[in-house]
Amino acid sequence: MQVFPYKMPRNFINQNYLSYMLMIGLLFYLPLVSISYYFPPFIGILYSLFAQKKQEDGTFIFLVFFYLFLFDITFSQLPFLTISIFTFLCLMVKPSFTEFLKCAYCPRFLYISICYFSLAIGYAITSYVLNLDFFFLQISILLYYIAIECILSVLAKP
């Protein structure tokens, strides 16, 4: 006879509060990102959390899009560019990868890499069409961000 249920409701509530605290922390972290290139913007981890979270949580979705809007205003000079790329990834790319990834860390690594590479491609196309200059089109900075976020996603609990 099993004493504890398989999934405890306390764990779900704690995960919700943890994701809300992460989002609020990211909102305070965004000014640091604008100061130095060595601070990654954590968009890959944000996409990984958003892709693995249920879509019924309206507050978390609002905080994600608010962070992306602030990121767009700060860096890309075009509001809603990152939000449109992020939404495209969630609606078109994410469903095709969820079937065959079964390990705990593989989806995180894949989501982080896909997020940054698609942002770089989207920014490259936009900068070519509109003759703008974006800061992390350099491959070394992009790989640095992916490496830092993959290490942090391993340190976090699956």
Which residues, 6 or more positions from 33, have their beta carbon under 8 angstroms from its beta carbon?
A: 39, 40, 41, 71, 74
pLDDT tens sequence across 137-146: 678 888 998 9
CA gap 68, 73 in Å, rounded? 9
The one-letter amino acid code at 139 reads I
Helix spans in the chain (H): 9-35, 43-52, 58-71, 81-88, 94-97, 106-130, 139-155
Whether the model clears a pTM of 0.95, i.e. scores above it, the answer is no
Going along the chain, which residue ranges are E strands?
A: none
Q: What is the pLDDT of residue 96?
A: 67
- pLDDT tens string 50-63: 777 666 677 778 88
pLDDT digit string (tens) for 51-95? 776 666 777 788 888 888 888 888 777 778 888 888 888 777 766
Q: d(Cα 158, Cα 143) in Å, to the nearest integer? A: 23
Query: What whole-number distance in Å separates Cα of residue 43 and Cα of residue 95?
Result: 19
Average pLDDT over the chain reads: 77
- Contacts for 67 with CB less than 8 Å, ≥ 6 apart: 23, 26, 27, 30, 46
Dihedral angle of Cα 86, 92, 94, 95, to the nearest 10 degrees: 150
pLDDT digits (tens, 9 = 90+) for 94-106: 666 666 666 767 7
Q: Take residue 102 and report the two structure tokens written for it.
A: 């079964």
Confidence tier at 13 by pLDDT (50, 70, 90): low
Residue 149 confidence (pLDDT) above 70: yes
Q: Indicate the domain borders of the chain.
A: 9-155
